[in-house]
Chains A and B, each alone.
Chain A
Amino acid sequence: MDLDFSPAHEAFRAEARAWLRARVPAEPLPSLETAEGFAAHRAWERTLGADRYATVNWPEEYGGRGASPLEWLIFEEEYYAAGAPGRVSQNGVNLLAPTLFEHGTPDQLRRVLPPMARGEVIWAQAWSEPGAGSDLAALRSTATRADGGWLLNGQKTWSSRAAFADRAFGLFRSDPGSERHRGLTYLMFPLDAAGVTIRPIGRLDGKPAFAELFLDDVFVPDEDVIGEPGNGWKVAMSTAGNERGLTLRSPGRYTAAADRLLALWRDRGDPSDTALRDRVANAWLKARAYRLKGFETISRTDDIGAESSLNKVFWSEFDIELHETALDLLGPDGELDGDWLEGYVFSLAGPIYAGTNEVQRNVIAERVLGLPRGAR
């Protein structure tokens, strides 16, 4: 057992650090949940993509650097330590791309991945529906066979980034007689297609972080179906695993935030307030635990499977804890607009999306611990 970085890994780290130092905007970009901020973050994705830093762990032929999982973790540490912007490309890079690598055709990989890596096409996810949240298999939006493709109808909601993104991916019921997990198809579609109506939804602080999508006979060609029609649930679950594992919230994000919290404590903390001091200590400790867990995960040779749910519960609840501590440290300034508040509002969604933490705890209890399934 060791925690040693090889000279090659150190060189990778040094190169990433130098690149970021030269390019990370000196002033934070406006919130990516606003039109202006979205455009600024889109431009930043292009800067990253131009030097293959948007998707370091992808093969070079699709615009990546062929980085190993460890190198990806190193890049993420450097990225957030450098104070680089949030990733507006996250839905595409972390949710859609892993699905394509597993189930996509060579043509789909060639068409979809390079523009994603260059930051030219920003993706939104279209999973939830008004009647299908955590219980995604209850979805009712349909895909009906048409000449050379499919016609999408129905309503999607809580669609992250959809207010400003270019394309979306999601599941649709393609077999009208089917129920639950059967008869679903995984499709990609343009958000500016005929028949798509987008109604932005303000999140807790009013910023349009997500949107409702109304679909009225939206045509999708066969080439934009991922995997076999009717097999969408299985295809989508490979994405869900990624969403709950390390990729959606890399450890580097937390180690950087914990370091900033520590700096804030040194700057503004009252040394006699040991209760607050202990919360700062906990934040540092948990960030370190998550970082080390990441190294443990990539060192394993077996599939972590449902254990990814452990990560999801951990990072989502820790994210809130960390930001709450910062806001409390800021005292009367804690309620004012700023990076910590933005991070706090963002963190509040963590235990809800990508499968609520209640669902995750059921998954942990049943599929990791082996407790009996029961009535929901």
Chain B
Amino acid sequence: MRFVPSEEQRLFASSLDKLLDQADTPSVIRSWASGDHAPGRRLWTSLAEAGVFALTVPEEHDGAGLLPVELVIAMHELGRHAVPGPLVETATAAALLTAAGETRWLPRIAAGEALVSLAAPYALDADTADLVLTVQDGVLHEAEPTGMLRPSIDPARRLFEVTPTRELGDADGTALDLAALACAAQHLGVGRRLLEVSVDYARTRHQYGHPIGEYQAVKHHLADALIDLEFARPLVHAAALAHGTADFPRDTAAAKIAAAEAAYRTAKTALQVHGAIGYTDEYAPSLWIRKARALHTAWGSPATHRTRLMAAL
């Protein structure tokens, strides 16, 4: 029993953090939102070099094997930095394609060359994705976008409706749980960053002659955010460890509920603590605040997962 990340896992997280700190993700996000995917694609290549997209690809296809713990650690960092693109979808697609025997895409996914969208029901970034997938009645299909962009509250999430074009094989049911778990980890990272920037802001923003972080009303909001985030993390880690066991769907549902509610509540706290500036499009934290709302219902809302959880119990 050692229920904390290993030294290697901690180093993996901090190397991603460093890489992303230097990447100026807010400007990458804004380009992505406007339809210019070039800076985002370059960032994907760097992330692939750091090993991110190999985490759900088998070793015989140039991957690292399926490493759920490393996956949630990586997704948490990608969420903290609000990296745009079909991150959860590409990671999940690798598992689905492996199970369906469609292996030719796998080395390209691991290398960060193939962005894969997976409809749920809207396909994220289907306009730039190299492959679009959808699961219908338990069968994995290749698909193509139909119609116009459906704008999301998160400008970095470019959603499209899709129609299936070609059957690929049976869809691995646990792969969709993997998507919910990866999304939970990403969401938790979004919440963590929003707490960090809110604490920084509360330390420096003065009103009535004092930093607003001196006032107990503000302190208590931020303390509650930390409690929520801190008690959601172990559920996410435990669900990753349950991958491959019968408890995986149950534990994933628990992780998604806790992470979504913690991150979303933290986003509302962040907005309140920042005041009017937080409510502006121009100010970078708004990119995280909007993502926190979008991820709340992506890959199953807390209500959906609560129903699943109680069914499992």
Q: Which residues of B contact A285 (CB under 8 A)?
A: 235, 254, 257-258, 309
Q: Is the CB of A369 within 8 A of B313?
A: no
B6 and A369 contact, CB distance less than 8 A: no
Known: A296-B234, A361-B223. 19 other contacts (CB 8 A): A1-B5, A1-B6, A1-B9, A3-B238, A281-B310, A284-B313, A286-B231, A289-B232, A296-B4, A358-B220, A361-B224, A362-B223, A365-B220, A365-B223, A369-B199, A369-B226, A372-B211, A372-B213, A372-B214
Structural contact, A361 and B220, CB atoms closer than 8 A = yes
Establish whether residues A5 and B1, one from each chain, have CB atoms under 8 Å apart when the complex forms.
Answer: yes
Q: Find residues 360-376 in chain A having any chain B CB closer than 8 Å to their own CB.
A: 360-362, 364-366, 368-375
Measured CB to CB, the closest approach of chain B to A254, in angstroms, equals 12
Pair A368/B237 contact, Cβ less than 8 Å = no
Cα distance A284–B247 in the bound complex, in angstroms? 14
Contacting residues of chain A (252-271) with chain B, CB-CB under 8 angstroms: 262
Chain A residues lying within 8 Å of B1, measured Cβ to Cβ, are: 2-6, 9, 70, 295, 299
1/0 per residue, CB under 8 A from A, across B199-225: the answer is: 100110000001101111011101110
**Interface of chain A: mostly helix, strand, loop or mixed:** helix
Q: Is B104 on the interface with A (CB-CB < 8 A)?
A: no
Q: Which residues of B contact A284 (CB under 8 A)?
A: 254, 309, 313
Enumerate chain A residues within 8 angstroms of B168, measured Cβ to Cβ. none
Q: Tell me, in angstroms, the Cα distance from A1 to B258 when the chains sit together.
A: 20
B69 touches A (CB below 8 Å): yes
Chain B residues with Cβ under 8 A from A282's Cβ?
Answer: 306
* CB of A126 to closest CB in B, whole Å: 29
B230 located at the interface, meaning its Cβ lies under 8 Å from any Cβ of chain A in the complex: yes
A3 near B3: Cβ-Cβ < 8 Å? yes
Pick from A3, A365, A373, A374: contact of B222, CB under 8 Å: A365
Tell me whether A314 and B227 are in contact in the complex, defined as CB-CB below 8 angstroms, given that A292-B3, A365-B222, A371-B219 are known contacts: yes
B234's nearest neighbour on chain A, judged by CB, is A292
Interface residues of A (CB under 8 A from B): 1-6, 9, 70, 262, 274, 277-278, 280-282, 284-286, 288-290, 292-293, 295-296, 299-300, 307, 310, 313-314, 358, 360-362, 364-366, 368-375
**A366-B203 Cα distance, complex, nearest whole Å:** 11
A374:B215 contact, CB within 8 angstroms:
yes
- Asked whether any CB of chain A lies closer than 8 Å to the CB of B18, the reply is no
Are A1 and B231 within 8 A (Cβ)?
no
Is A1 in contact with B227, judged by CB distance below 8 angstroms?
no
Interface CB pairs A-B, < 8 A, 21: A2-B241, A3-B241, A70-B1, A278-B303, A278-B306, A280-B310, A281-B257, A293-B231, A295-B3, A307-B230, A310-B230, A314-B227, A361-B220, A364-B226, A364-B227, A365-B223, A366-B219, A371-B214, A371-B218, A374-B215, A374-B216
Instruction: Across the A-B interface, give the 10 residue pairs with the lowest CB-CB distance, nearest first.
Output: A374-B214, A292-B234, A365-B219, A364-B223, A371-B213, A361-B223, A295-B3, A289-B231, A299-B4, A361-B220
A369 CA to B199 CA, complexed, in Å = 7
**A70 to B233 alpha-carbon distance, docked (Å):** 20
Report yes or no: B203 in contact with A300, Cβ–Cβ below 8 A. no
**Distance A370 CA – B199 CA, assembled complex (angstroms):** 8
Q: Are A281 and B309 in contact (CB under 8 A)?
A: yes
CA distance A372 to B4 in the complex (A): 30
Q: Are B226 and A1 in contact (CB under 8 A)?
A: no
A289 contacts which of B2, B224, B234, B241 (Cβ < 8 Å)? B234
Complex contact B222–A369 (CB within 8 A): yes
Complex contact A368–B226 (CB within 8 A) = yes
A300 to B309, CA, bound (A): 29
Q: How far is the CB of B284 from chain A (nearest CB, A)?
A: 20
User: Which A residues are CB-close (under 8 A) to B231?
Assistant: 286, 289-290, 293, 310, 314
Are B9 and A288 interface neighbours, CB within 8 A? no
Cβ of A362 to closest chain B Cβ, rounded Å: 6
Question: Chain A's nearest CB lies how many Å from the CB of B155?
Answer: 29
CA distance A285 to B250 in the complex (A): 10
If A2-B241, A361-B224, A364-B223 touch, whether A262 touches B3 (CB-CB below 8 Å) is no
Instruction: Give bound CA distance, A282 to B232, whole Å.
Output: 12
Set B69, B213, B219: member contacting A1, Cβ < 8 A: B69
